[in-house]
Structure 1
Amino acid sequence: MPKHLTFLPVLALSAAISTAAVADSGPNAETVVASVNGEAITLGHVIMAGATLPEQYQQVPADVLYNAILDQLIQQTALVQSRVGDEPPVVTLSLENERRSLLAADAIEAAMADVGGEDDIRAAYDAKYADGKGDAEFNASHILVETREDADAIKAELDGGADFSETAKAKSTGPSGPNGGELGWFSDGQMVPEFQAAVSTLDVGQVSEPVQTQFGWHVIILNDKRDKEAPELDAVADELLAELRQNALEDRIEDLTSKAKIERPVVDGLKPEMIKDLGLIGN
């Protein structure tokens, strides 16, 4: 074994973990592939360490990756054995959070396991596109300025009869200003949420109240609105499956939390800023 450390990146809790079937004979997850002072390292440990590595490491030849991971586990085991004293609180808390996260992920998979068969997807498609129409598309223009005061003044001018396009050319700070503020056609999800929400509430020809986004303050006019044709089932099957699974998960979580006895006591002196104070945990 080389003397230099071969630590690979820390395993990500959010990494997807797939479980392969264990063969009836030959090496399995409990097969010991190394030991350090009698402490076993199994093939299962190596498999799990490899399964959650970043994508670039998955491309490494298997023999190289196997030996690198095993070296890392041996080195880590020796380091752990060299420690003196109790387990540091930061380690205990991290392990508890990791265990909670992994078991919750397993529960999520269970909640979604029986959702999304062909009949489910077809029923969701029929319900969503029963009228033969797809998602709505919007054609809007806007005037972008830096402050609420400027937006209020522009809205007053427009309410007084000022032409939207000419006002946008004269006062909008956005790149669409020279074009009269025209944004063309767009669907849900193509604009920032605050802008999209405002557009969705407008009637054709209606001018919005000032709307704030990360870019500044907008005054918006809805020029036109139309519905796209319903897509073919195959084109949206994956999207419908994701929606079905998300809905099943949300229903499951709501059911569990509504039945659970949940307490959030008021703690004297507790401040949200303490979330960044690692000093409270100790060494």
Structure 2
Amino acid sequence: MSKTLMKLSAAALALSFALPVQAEELTADSVVATVNGKEITLGHMLAVRSNLPEQYQQLGDDVLWDGILDQIVQQQVLATDDRANETKRVTIALDNEKRALLAAEVVASVAKEALTDDAVQAAYDAEYANAELGKEFNASHILVETEEEAKAIAEELKGGADFATLAKSRSTGPSGPNGGDLGWFGPGMMVEPFQVAVEGMEPGAISDPVQTQFGWHVIKLNETRNMEAPALDEVRDQLELTVQQEAVKAYIEGKMASAEVTRTDKADVDTSALSNIDLLGE
């Protein structure tokens, strides 16, 4: 082999060793560091990353890599120090952490298994299929500052004056230029005195003056209609959450019912012990 070819082969070999391992080639078991022979894996880093506060989650992977790995390496160095004793406090904390993580795994598994298209459809049908969703209202109003003005306008309207014309010339509300038109609204969308007045009216009727914090209103109910159920996709997120919550609740209740549980009656203990952190030792 010529010297030129040998140099090219050596350069290519060096370059191949220098290339970074691609993300798709890594697994949770991929070793990213060793500390006195103890392996630190990508999985360890991922577990730390998943528990970072939201503000740190937004940082780039390149920035987080160094910070997370430095932290784990430092912790591993200290964890093998002669002063690193597994005290009662550490043992109990590990017990609690393992218990919480295993319980969370069960909850996640149950929630995932419960989330099917059929379950979401059933939840939608139960919520909306035969439900009385109430009415929507289409109304117009004229807003003025005093009760006297409102009474005078109501009299004019009952005498045959055109509502939209009076609204444009007399209303102080933002809907005045549009003839007082408020469009469609459902139960609870207006302030209470206004909503109560509208719900007690018949289409085409003109109200007596109604006072709210905005002033005095004269209301015309234009028409009503029955509210329609939203499309399934519009409420899918909430339905999925409901399906999962109910499945998890039912699963926990079932497991609790079959578990053998004994509890110390708190009447038999001094509950102030719960504040004595010193019981965990140094």
TM-score bucket of the superposed structures, by smaller chain: 0.5 to 0.7
CA distance in 2, matches of 1:241, 1:228: 23
Partner of 1:26: 25
Q: CA deviation at 1:70?
A: 0.8
Partner of 1:112: 111
CA distance in 1, matches of 2:110, 2:256: 14
CA distance in 1, matches of 2:93, 2:82: 18
Alignment of 1:204-219 (within 5 A): none
CA distance in 2, matches of 1:37, 1:260: 44
CA distance in 1, matches of 2:111, 2:84: 43
RMSD: 3.1
CA distance in 1, matches of 2:98, 2:238: 30
Partner of 1:245: 244
Partner of 2:61: 62
CA distance in 1, matches of 2:231, 2:26: 47
Partner of 1:82, secondary structure, is coil
Partner of 2:47, secondary structure, is helix
CA distance in 2, matches of 1:62, 1:85: 31
Kindly indicate whether the alpha-carbon contact (under 8 Å) linking 1:134 and 1:231 is maintained by their aligned counterparts in 2: no
CA distance in 2, matches of 1:274, 1:29: 42
Q: Deviations over 1:43-79 (max 9, x none)?
A: 2111211122112212222222111111111111111
Partner of 2:59, secondary structure, is coil
Partner of 1:231: 230
1:93 paired with 2:89, answer no
In structure 2, do the counterparts of structure 1 residues 34 and 24 end up closer, same or farther at CA, with 3 Å as the change threshold? Answer: closer
Partner of 1:125: 124
Q: Deviations over 1:145-196 (max 9, x none)?
A: xxxxxxxxxxxxxxxxxxxxxxxxxxxxxxxxxxxxxxxx649xxxxxxxxx
Kindly indicate whether the alpha-carbon contact (under 8 Å) linking 1:36 and 1:74 is maintained by their aligned counterparts in 2: yes
TM-score by length of 1: 0.55
TM-score by length of 2: 0.55
The structure whose residues are more often helix, as a share, is: 2
CA distance in 1, matches of 2:260, 2:274: 24
Partner of 2:235, secondary structure, is helix
Kindly indicate whether the alpha-carbon contact (under 8 Å) linking 2:78 and 2:84 is maintained by their aligned counterparts in 1: no
Kindly indicate whether the alpha-carbon contact (under 8 Å) linking 1:133 and 1:229 is maintained by their aligned counterparts in 2: no
Could you list the runs of 5+ residues in structure 2 that have no partner in the other structure? 1-21, 137-186, 190-225
Partner of 2:150: none
Partner of 1:35, secondary structure, is strand
Question: How much identity, in percent, do the aligned residues show?
Answer: 37
CA distance in 2, matches of 1:46, 1:70: 7
Partner of 1:230, secondary structure, is coil
Partner of 1:161: none
Partner of 1:177: none
Partner of 1:114, secondary structure, is helix
Which one-letter code corresponds to 1:117 in the other structure? Answer: T
In structure 2, do the counterparts of structure 1 residues 26 and 78 end up closer, same or farther at CA, with 3 Å as the change threshold? Answer: same
